[in-house]
Amino acid sequence: MTTVITIASGKGGTGKTTVTANLGSMLAYHKKRTYIMDSDMGMANLGLVLGLENMPITLHEVLAGKADIHDAIYEGPFGVSVIPSGLSLEGFKNSDPDLLRGIMADIVDECDILMIDAPAGINHDGIIPLAIADEVILVVNPDIASIVDGLKTKMITEMMGGKIRGAIINRVNRIDDKGTEEQIEKILDVPIIGMIPEDTNVRRASANRTPIVVKYPTSDASRAFRRIASQTIGIE
C-alpha cells in the first residue's frame, strides 16, 4: 500500500524542501520505493537542491497537460525518484493544480511512499496537497509566527478531512530541548515526530546540490534526519 505524505508548514522557509529531500533520500536508502514531488509550482526548489533544476520535462509541463507524469521522473540520491517543478513563471502560469489528484493516481501504485513538498500559504494550490495526502507532516521552526502558521495549516487540513501525522521542529538550537518540544506540542496539539538542529551543513549541502544526509552523513542534522526516517516510517 502506498502512503502519500505531504510536507507542509503554512509559513515559507521553515524547511519543507530540506525535509522532503533528506527524508525521501533516507527512505530510498532503506529500499522503500520513494517518490518525492515538488508541488511548489511557483517557487520550485526541490529540483534545485538536488541538482535537477534544468530538466526538460517537469511537473509544470504535466500540469499543463503537455506531458505524461512518467516523463517528469528523475533519479535522485540513493535512487529516490524525483518529480521536480519548473523554474519559469510562464510554466507556473500554465499549470493547473487541480490536475494533481489525477496525476497522483497515475503513479501511486508504483511506489511505497509518495512525499509531496507543499508550497507555503493557503491559496488554492497550497491546500490541494493537504487534501490529497494520507497524512500531513508539519514543519515548524521554534518561533511564534511559524508555530501559528503551522496551527492554521493543521486546522485547514482537518477541515478538509485530512490527517496530521505530526510535526517536525526544524532549526532548534539543541535537540534535547524538552521545554521547546513540550511547548510546541501543546500549542499544535499534534505528536512531535522529531527535532532537527540548526546546522550550517544544510546550506553547504544544498549549495552542492546534494542532501545533507548524503554529503555530510555524520553531521548533527543528518543524524536527526536518519532518526526521524527510521522512527516515522518504521524502518529498523
The answer to whether residue 20 forms part of the interface with Mg ion (CB under 5 A) is no
CB distance 127 to 156 below 8 Å? yes
Residue 99 CB-density burial (10 A; 0-12 exposed, 13-18 middle, 19+ buried): middle
Q: By the 8 A CB rule, do 219 and 230 touch?
A: no
Which residue, 45 or 232, has its beta carbon nearer to Mg ion? 45
CB of 34 to ligand ADP, least distance (A): 18
Q: How far is the CB of 124 from Mg ion (least distance, A)?
A: 18
Q: Which is nearer to ligand ADP, 17 or 157 (CB)?
A: 17
In the list 6, 9, 14, 17, the residue contacting Mg ion (rule: CB under 5 A) is: 17
Q: Write down the least CB distance from residue 105 to ligand ADP, Å.
A: 25
Distances (CA, A) of 232 to 23, 66, 96, 210, 236: 10, 36, 32, 22, 10
Q: Nearer to ligand ADP by C-beta: 15 or 76?
A: 15
- From the list ligand ADP, Mg ion, none, partner contacted by residue 171 (C-beta under 5 to 8 A by kind): ligand ADP
Q: Which is nearer to ligand ADP, 81 or 219 (CB)?
A: 219
Residue the block writes with cell 552523513: 217
Query: Which triple of cell numbers denotes residue 144?
Result: 511564534
> From the list Mg ion, ligand ADP, none, which binds 199 (C-beta under 5 to 8 Å, kind-based)?
ligand ADP
Task: Please answer whether residues 211 and 25 qualify as being in contact, where contact means their C-beta atoms are separated by less than 8 angstroms.
Answer: yes
190 binds, among Mg ion, ligand ADP, none (CB under 5 to 8 A by kind): none
DSSP letters along 139-186, please?
EE-SSHHHHHHHHHHHHHHHHTT--EEEEEEEEES-TT-HHHHHHHHH
Query: Which position's Cβ is nearest Mg ion?
Result: 17
Which helix or strand (DSSP H or E) is residue 63 part of?
A: helix 59-63
**Contact call for residues 4 and 132 (beta carbons, < 8 A):** yes
Q: CB-wise, 30 or 204, nearer to ligand ADP? A: 204
Sites for Mg ion among residues 41-100 (CB under 5 A): 45
Give the DSSP H/E element, type plus range, for residue 16.
helix 16-29
Q: Which does 86 bind (CB under 5 to 8 A by kind): Mg ion, ligand ADP, none?
A: none
Binding residues vs ligand ADP (CB under 6 A):
9, 12-18, 45, 170-171, 196, 198-199, 202-203, 206, 221
The listed partner (Mg ion, ligand ADP, none) that binds 202, CB under 5 to 8 Å by sort, is ligand ADP
- Decide the pairing of beta strands 34-38 and 81-83: parallel
**Where along the sequence are the contacts to Mg ion (CB under 5 A)?**
16-17, 45
